[in-house]
Amino acid sequence: MPKGKLFLIPNVLAENTALHIISPQIKEVISHTKVYLVENLRTARRYISSLKLGVNIEELHMEILDKNTAPETINRLMQPLLNGADIGIISEAGCPGIADPGAVAVAHAHLKGIQVVPLSGPSSMFMALMASGFSGQSFAFHGYLPIDKKEKTIALRKLENESAKEQRAQIFMETPFRNNQLLEDILSTLAPQTKLCIAKNLTASDELVLTKTIAEWKKLPIDLHKIPTVFILQSF
């Protein structure tokens, strides 16, 4: 029996906005896919319903794949692929597999000889980099920095030093309810001349992408509490 395909389906970044950027290819895949691995059931169902493709949500089979999914359950979750059914992976927001638990399923698919099909869609880190004014020739995405203040400070200084040495843009993020705390740590740790891009609520009506030096940011109050945000630093 032919194996199914694993489709990596991008989700919108901002709820109830920017549905126009969802490609016809994504809509076509969702129209014909019945099995999904999703990070959040409610978010995935709402996303598919919002596309108005005539899909009966109750007929879809969805399983949770998140950071708490035990490795030994991956075989079971991926079994439909071996039975010939396609599976779609849908993240909470953005592209599956990037700072996302979907990467585990993708790695398993490669081990089993299953075709992985990435679909194009919004990615907050790449959109932020595009709009930052920093060079896209050399950059690194570091995901989430340590929560512990001391460890976070060490990590920020390391990123700043590496950025200056390699001329590399350093991209990272934080859980939205800790954004303001992270920004405070950034402003108290990095050198005044280091540049910081803050990209918040991308694709939403109130999105903001702004690049300033640390010294300039200290004079410009901004509230990022519970707002999806990407941070990029560049030291010259």
Given a cut of 70, whether residue 6 has pLDDT beyond it is: yes
Token reading at 186: 């950034």
| Mean pLDDT computed over 94-106 | 89
Contact call for residues 63 and 38 (beta carbons, < 8 A): yes
pLDDT at 121 (0 to 100): 87
Rg (CA), the chain: 19
Q: What is the pLDDT of residues 141-185, one digit of tens each?
A: 999 999 999 999 999 999 999 999 999 999 999 999 999 999 999
Q: Is 72 left (phi over 0), alpha (psi -120 to 50) or beta?
A: alpha
**Nearest Cα residue to 100 out of 88, 90, 109:** 90
Return the number of other C-beta atoms located less than 10 Å from residue 8's C-beta. Answer: 25
Which two three-digit tokens encode residue 43? 């978010």
**Is the model's pLDDT at 122 over the cut of 90?**
no
pLDDT at residue 105 in the model: 94
For the chain, the average pLDDT equals 93
Question: 220 to each of 49, 203, 214, how far by Cα in Å?
Answer: 40, 23, 10
Please check the confidence at residue 18 and state whether its pLDDT lies above 60.
no
φ, ψ for residue 29 (rounded to 5)? Answer: -65, -45
Q: In terms of DSSP H, where are the helices of 18-122?
A: 24-32, 41-50, 74-82, 102-111
DSSP H helices, 83-209, are 102-111, 124-132, 149-166, 179-189
| pLDDT at site 20 | 67
- Structure token pair of residue 200: 């918040």
pLDDT at 17: 62
The rounded distance, in Å, linking the Cα atoms of 169 and 167 is: 7
How far lies 24's CA from each of 20, 46, 89, 169, 188, in Å?
A: 10, 18, 17, 32, 45
Give per-residue pLDDT as tens, 211-223: 999 999 999 999 9
pLDDT tens per residue across span 180-212? 999 999 999 999 999 999 999 998 888 999 999
Sole residue written with tokens 């596309």: 51
Q: For position 27, what pLDDT does the model report?
A: 93
Interatomic CA distance for residues 116 and 5, integer angstroms: 6
Residue 19 has a pLDDT of 64
Alpha-carbon distance of 123 to 173, in angstroms, equals 13
Of residues 199 and 51, more confidence is placed in 199
For residues 101 and 39, the answer to whether their CB atoms sit within 8 Å is: yes
Cα 44 to Cα 12: distance, rounded to the nearest angstrom: 10
Q: In the structure encoding, which two tokens stand for residue 153, read together?
A: 């400070």
